[in-house]
Amino acid sequence: MGRHKDEVLYPGEVFDGRWEVGAFLGDGNFSIVFECRDRVSGKSYAIKILSVTQNSVEHLAEFENDGELLELLAGRSNIIEIEARGLHPMTLHSSSGVPVVVNVPYIVLERADASLAELLVTRHSLSWAERLDLFRQVVKGMHQMHLFEIVNRDLKSDNALVTASGKSATVALSDFGRGRNTRNPARFSALAYQHGRGDSRFSPPEMIWGLGVDDPEQMRLADLFLIGSVLFEFATGVGLTAIVLGDPLAWRERARAMSEPDRMRDFASHAADLQTRFGIAYDVFEAELPAPIRQVGCALLEQLTAVIPEQRQPHVLGRPRAVASPWDLQWVLRRVDIMRLTLAHAETERMKKRGKRP
């Protein structure tokens, strides 16, 4: 767990006269998360605070975007619940000792027990039935976002939070700063969408090459890749793009030096090589799957993470299949349910055979 230089500023501070900041939980590029106690109800929450020393206009915009999308999605299944957000005036001291009042943006969130990434470190202690239950919840969270025509753009196991309840666990998606409500005007410039703004280890290949655009359809297809990448994480514990490209960030920086036409030509010239590289990763994935679900699981992964974005959506005989709404992810949920039922049936048959033994 990282340690942030702003960490010492907040413990003991009471935001908005209500939210008492406690122990440090973790940090990101420009925000810090602490335990938080509600002085009104006594309940425990998490409070996410924008760093006062490591932020910019862009970071503030992402932080505000996170809060706005969480409010829009409030009450939806498998989305982390937001309790409050606002600005808290704090008196800080400059290096010369001069007091300065700073309005600190914050978001109070439902408290989770861990991230999915932490859970997947010991993934082999989870049965595939348990993993598929968790993965289904990830898909359900993305489904809820897509029903609002909101794209995630940064889905990965780090951004899915897990709360334990007895023998079961609930997954809730979080960290929507890089999300996009496609029903609203763009918040950032066109250049901000070229590389997707997500983590290179999980990014779809077209984003690595800087071919992303502020287009709802293209961003929706990129989200399908991210869902597939999380499925790959459940099997391997690592990002699919990191396995395929080795050093995705280096490939991304290489593309930045090219003009857009050159990036498009370069991507096309690498298509066959990418297919081969992805094929090797698919073999690794297949080896981790139980035999009864290998065919369905591998087919789903290959579809969701196809190199050509248009091939990720439902199709029949190579042509797009007519669906009520392209934003509806029920087709992915059905595939996951098929795998869950297949595993349950295989386990039942195994138990029957065991019962027949002398």
- Tokens 């406690």 appear where? 22
Chain centroid offset of residue 233 CA = 11
Strand pairing report for 114-115 and 160-165 = antiparallel
Q: In this structure, how many other beta carbons lie within 10 angstroms of the beta carbon of residue 114?
A: 13
The tokens of 90 are what?
Answer: 């704090």
Q: Which residues of the chain have pLDDT under 70?
A: 1-4, 316-322, 356-358
pLDDT at position 358, please?
Answer: 43
Q: Which amino acid is at 349?
A: E
Residue 122 has what pLDDT?
96
Looking at the chain, the domain(s) classified CATH 3.30.200.20 span 7-109
Residue 186: per-residue pLDDT: 87
- CA contacts within 13 A on the Cβ side of 91: 3
Nearest C-alpha neighbor of 344 from the set 124, 129, 123: 129
Residues of the chain with CATH 1.10.510.10: 114-346
Whole-prediction pTM: 0.94
pLDDT in tens, 252-287: 999 999 999 999 999 999 999 999 999 999 999 999
| Domain range 114-346, its CATH number among 3.40.309.10, 1.10.600.10, 1.10.510.10, 1.10.540.10 | 1.10.510.10
| Topology given in CATH for the domain delimited by 7-109 | Phosphorylase Kinase; domain 1 (3.30.200)
Secondary structure (3-state) at 218: helix
> What was the pLDDT predicted at 357?
52
- Residue-level pLDDT at 319: 62
Q: What percent of the chain has pLDDT over 90?
A: 79
The predicted structure's pLDDT at residue 318: 58
Give me the residue label for tokens 């359809």: 217
* pLDDT in the model for residue 124: 96
CA distance linking residue 334 with residue 180, whole number of Å:
26
